[in-house]
Structure formats: structure tokens, C-alpha cells
Amino acid sequence: MSERKQLTILGIGAHVGDVELVAGGVLASHYLKGDKIATLALTAGERGVPEGQDVHEYREQKVREAHTFAGMLGGEARVFEIPDGEIPDDEAIRLRVCDVIREVKPDIIITHHCNSMHKDHATTHRIVNDARFFAGLKAMERERPAHFAGKLYYGENWEDAVGYVPYVYVGFDQQAFDLWIEALSTHWFVTGSKSFAYMDYYQSLARVRGCEMRGLYAETFMIPAETMRLRQQEL
């Protein structure tokens, strides 16, 4: 029996915590299988600062939380210095993300669904789609050689619910769930925010999706519309 190929998965979110919430169980599961995990946040998400805390101090905290989460999954985190809420929708940011993709060389990218109540999420969706395209273009000359990430997934985020229909269910076991929750608990907004019960919601959602696939836990994803094709010779 041939050895299983090690995969590299890159999660790209608008803010620190986005990918960790919507795909953390799957990332933990892949880490436990021996795969490589990396995350990129285009902003730290610092404007969700706790009352009474300095926003700059909270940004530093968020960056530490990103590195802690990734480190607990044997991976690495990157956080751009762009202010929360101000992600530019231009070619320059697409090329920056393209460069990260070429550096990390992921087999799989996970990012936001196209629709969102949060402008940064929707902008990040557009950026990542174009950056993935740029990264795979050999004629697009950058510091590093071209790399095409073969699979692209859009995670299930409560803020990105409009038009989201689960297409791919990915199950994971109790060990992966426990690791995910332990790592997720290092993010203040997940455990301390009074605006939304993040931990309760995402733990419960993982169990509901697990039930729907006749398993224990799962996270769901959409994929680009052009890849929604079942290929088979007969029913």
C-alpha cells in the first residue's frame, strides 16, 4: 500500500479567528493525519476590542492568538498589518496573497463564501479567488515560481449565511474536535465576546452537521460553482 501523500492546507480569513472558527475541526483532523496547516488573516480583527482595552494592544493579542492556534495544530500563521474593516479591493492585495500562496504551496485553500454581512469577508472572497488564479499563472512573474492550489473551499460562517448551501461535508472524530476546541479557546472573542455566542454556536453546528452526515462531527463547505459537477458514467 502506498503512503498517503501529505497535504498542505492554507486557510485565508478576513480576520484572525475566521478560519479557525469555520474550519478548525477539519484543520485539526488533517493535522492529526500528518498534514501541514497554515493560516493567513488579512487583518487582525482588532476593532472587536473588549471594552476598556486599547485597540493596538488588542491587535497584538489577536496576532498572538493566531500564532497560538496555528502552533497547536503544528502549523504557522501570518497576519497582514491592514487595519480591521479597511481591506483594499485592489490588485496590490491580490498579489500579496498570491505571494503567500506561492510561498506556502497549498494543495487546498479555505476562505469565505461570497456573500456576507461583513464587508471584509466578501472582499476577502474576491481577493482569494483572484490571488489563487494569479498564483497559478507561470507568466505572472513574482519572486517565487507559480503554484496552483487544486482545491478551493468556502467555509460556513454565521456572518456569511446569505446564499450559503452546504455542498461538501467533512467529518472528524472526537480527538480532532477536542484539539480544535482547546485551540479555539485561546481566542478571547470566542470565549469572552458578549455580542455572539461563538463557542456555543460552532460547537453545536459541528455536531448538527455531523448528525446530517451520519457521523459525529463535521464542517461544511461550498465550492466554486464551476466545479460543482458530478462525473459518472451511469446512475
> What CATH number should be reported for the domain holding residue 42?
3.40.50.10320
Contact of 107 with 153, CB cutoff 8 Å:
no
pLDDT value for 231: 80
In a domain, 119, yes or no: yes
Instruction: Answer yes or no: is 164 within a domain.
Output: yes
Do the beta carbons of residue 82 and residue 126 sit within 8 Å? Answer: no
pLDDT value for 234: 86
| Alpha-carbon distances, residue 60 vs 176, 192, 210 (angstroms) | 28, 17, 35
DSSP-derived letter for residue 47 is G
Q: Which neighbouring-strand residues pair with 77?
A: 39
128 domain-assigned: yes
Q: Is residue 74 a part of any domain in this protein?
A: yes
- 20 in a domain, yes or no? yes
The set of cell numbers assigned to 1 is 500500500
Average pLDDT over residues 154-177: 97
Tell me, what's the pLDDT at 232?
81
> Is the pLDDT assigned to residue 161 strictly greater than 60?
yes
Residues 120 and 14: their CA atoms lie apart, in Å, by 6
Catalogue the E-assigned strands of the chain: 8-15, 36-43, 76-82, 108-111, 151-155, 168-172, 217-222
pLDDT at 1 over 60: no
Q: Is the pLDDT of residue 154 over 80?
A: yes
Q: Coil, helix or strand for 43?
A: strand
In a domain, 3, yes or no: no
Q: Say whether pLDDT at 32 is over 70.
A: yes
Q: Are 180 and 138 in contact (CB under 8 A)?
A: no
Number of structural domains in the chain: 1
User: CA 122, 126, 132: angle at the middle one, nearest 5?
Assistant: 140
User: Is residue 234 one of the residues assigned to a domain?
Assistant: no
Greater model confidence, 235 or 115: 115
- 2 pLDDT band, cuts 50/70/90, is low
> What is the per-residue pLDDT across 86-117, written as a single tens digit (0 to 9) for each?
999 999 999 999 999 999 999 999 999 999 99
C-alpha–C-alpha distance, residues 95 and 122, integer Å: 18
Which residue range(s) make up the domain with 94? Answer: 8-225
Check whether 230 has a pLDDT greater than 80: no
Q: Residue 235 — very low, low, confident or very high, per pLDDT cuts 50/70/90?
A: confident
Average pLDDT value for residue range 145-172: 97
Does any domain span residue 88? yes
| pLDDT tens-digit readout, 206-228 | 999 999 999 999 999 999 999 99
